[in-house]
Amino acid sequence: MSKQFTGGTLVCPVDGIAARDLLVAGENIVADANGAETIDVSGKLIAPAIVDLGVFGIDTAAFRAGGIVRVGLMPDQAPVLDDPGIVARAAYMGKPDLWIHPISAATQGLRGTDLAEMAINAEAGAGAVATGRRWIGDSGVMRKVLAYARDCGLVVIAHAEDGGLAGDAVATAGETATRLGLPAAPAMAEALAIARDVMLAEETGARLHFRQVTTAAGFDLVRAAKRRGVRVTCGITPAHLYLSDIAMSDFRTFAHLSPPLRSESDRQAAGAALADGTIDVLCSGHDPRGPEAKRLPFADSEPGMAGAETLLPLGLGLVRDGLIGLDRLFALLSYNPAKLLGLDSGTLAIGAPADLIVVDQDAPWQVRADALAGKAANTPFDGLPVQGRAVRVMKGGAFL
């Protein structure tokens, strides 16, 4: 049965913000529908459901609670997504509740040496290729990765951290790391990685996306590359927009992230990069970790955070702070990541897939690790008061 949403405010990254009805028939948004069921969403927002680019674990309950219906799954799985059979299986794993778009490994086993079969993996359902959690240290291999991906029409998602400089560091070099006695690497590890990969992308003409950029120097390099016409984009998580390395001061392992939290000046530079359009994607970095991985000394714990359920409210907080508008927020959350994965979702245009969320942008709640719906509760935002959540989630024209 077709559905007509009435009384709400539509937020479309392409067509802007408008107070009007929205019609859904079958799996798509339509212009007209007979005998539609009326759904009153007065006082609420209707927006494209979130396309979360670069998650490390499938966590359906967390995604549904966060308004996420499509995820770009990183290749760092067991087994690694470097084989067409494994890629195809990953693509079907979330059905019927979730669209999973596997991101295949750029190199076999993510070892950074021999190229994986990108073309065959793309035919099996891979929407992009990635270097995984690590940087490819061999420049010759990375050049081949970019050239092969270009020929396959795929974007390369890169980890921006020079492995030789970062080593086994768990923090950014500075006062906090020194005071805590943590293994640390200079923030320039990010800029060095970006500088090399941008040069290779410029030379090969490939599309390159840095999953996370978190430093002032990194943003400057991306900004300059975009001005030169390099096909480069970048993303960030709310953690690096809201938190600095001070959040690690009590050795709290929920703040052990990759890349690590940066200085306050870098955090402010991230806000400026968001406001001026340098940042293209806002992602959760969802990497659920159980107590066996986090209840350890900081340097021994695993990096990562459960970010799916807090992505939307923290994004709405950026709107309230005046950094971005609502339509830009959903470009960052939905439209831009969809484009990178080659999808036609992320908008409210006629004919687009009916992947929608109804959002109560003013609903107050407190992030409580023990009350999150997902597999794990390793959020650095535990205890933070927030506003806004998805109150209804629609995937392919059906409510979840």
Q: Of 282, 340, 293, give the one whose Cα is nearest residue 67.
A: 282
Report phi then psi at 163, rounded to 5.
-65, -35
CA distances to 76, 79, 120, 128, 259 from 87, in Å: 12, 10, 10, 11, 26
At residue 250's C-alpha, the angle toward residues 245 and 256, to 5°, is: 50
pLDDT attached to residue 327 = 97
Pairwise CA distance, residues 207 & 219, whole Å: 17
pLDDT attached to residue 326 = 97
Tens digits of pLDDT across the chain (400 residues):
799 999 999 999 999 999 999 999 999 999 887 888 999 999 999 999 999 999 999 999 999 999 999 999 999 999 999 999 999 999 999 888 899 999 999 999 999 999 999 999 999 999 999 999 999 999 999 999 999 999 999 999 999 999 999 999 999 999 999 999 999 999 999 999 999 999 999 999 999 999 999 999 999 999 999 999 999 999 999 999 999 999 999 888 999 999 999 999 999 999 999 999 999 999 999 999 998 999 999 999 999 999 999 999 999 999 999 999 999 999 999 999 999 999 999 999 999 999 999 999 999 999 999 899 998 889 999 999 999 999 999 999 999 9
pLDDT attached to residue 1 = 75
pLDDT attached to residue 205 = 98
CB-side neighbour CA atoms (13 Å) of 223: 15
Pairwise CA distance, residues 247 & 383, whole Å: 13
Pairwise CA distance, residues 288 & 279, whole Å: 24
According to DSSP, residue 234 is labeled: E
Domains of the chain and CATH, by start:
49-346 (3.20.20.140)
Task: Specify whether the backbone of 356 is left (phi greater than 0), alpha (psi in -120 to 50) or beta.
Answer: beta
Report phi then psi at 133, rounded to 5.
-70, -10
pLDDT attached to residue 32 = 82
Burial of 140 (0-12, 13-18, 19+ CB in 10 A): exposed
20 touches 45 (CB < 8 A): no
Cβ-proximal residues to 261 (8 Å cutoff; 6+ apart), any chain: 171, 172, 239, 240, 243, 244, 245, 247, 248, 255
Pairwise CA distance, residues 282 & 288, whole Å: 18
Q: Which runs of consecutive H residues, i.e. helices, occur in the chain?
A: 60-65, 84-92, 118-123, 139-152, 163-166, 175-180, 188-204, 216-227, 238-242, 264-275, 291-294, 311-320, 326-330, 336-340
Buried residues in 183-206 as b, exposed as e (16+ CB within 10 A): ebbbbebbbbbbbbbbebbbebeb
pLDDT attached to residue 35 = 81
Burial of 81 (0-12, 13-18, 19+ CB in 10 A): buried
Long-range contacts at 224-231 (CB < 8 A, ≥ 24 apart): 225/198, 225/201, 226/278, 228/202, 230/198, 230/201, 230/202, 231/201, 231/205, 231/206, 231/207
Beta bridge partners, 358, equal 46, 392
Q: What Rg do the C-alpha atoms of the chain give, in angstroms?
A: 20
Sheet bearing 232-236, strands edge to edge? 50-55, 68-73, 99-105, 128-130, 156-158, 208-210, 232-236, 281-282
DSSP 69-134: EEEEE-S-SSS-S-SHHHHHHHHHTTTTT-EEEEEEESBGGG-SSSBP-HHHHHHTT--EEE-TTS
How many whole angstroms from its chain centre is CA 360? 22
- The CB density around residue 228, as the number of other CB atoms within 10 Å, is 9
Tokens of 149: 């991906």
Beta bridge partners, 3, equal 24, 37
pLDDT attached to residue 36 = 85
pLDDT attached to residue 42 = 96
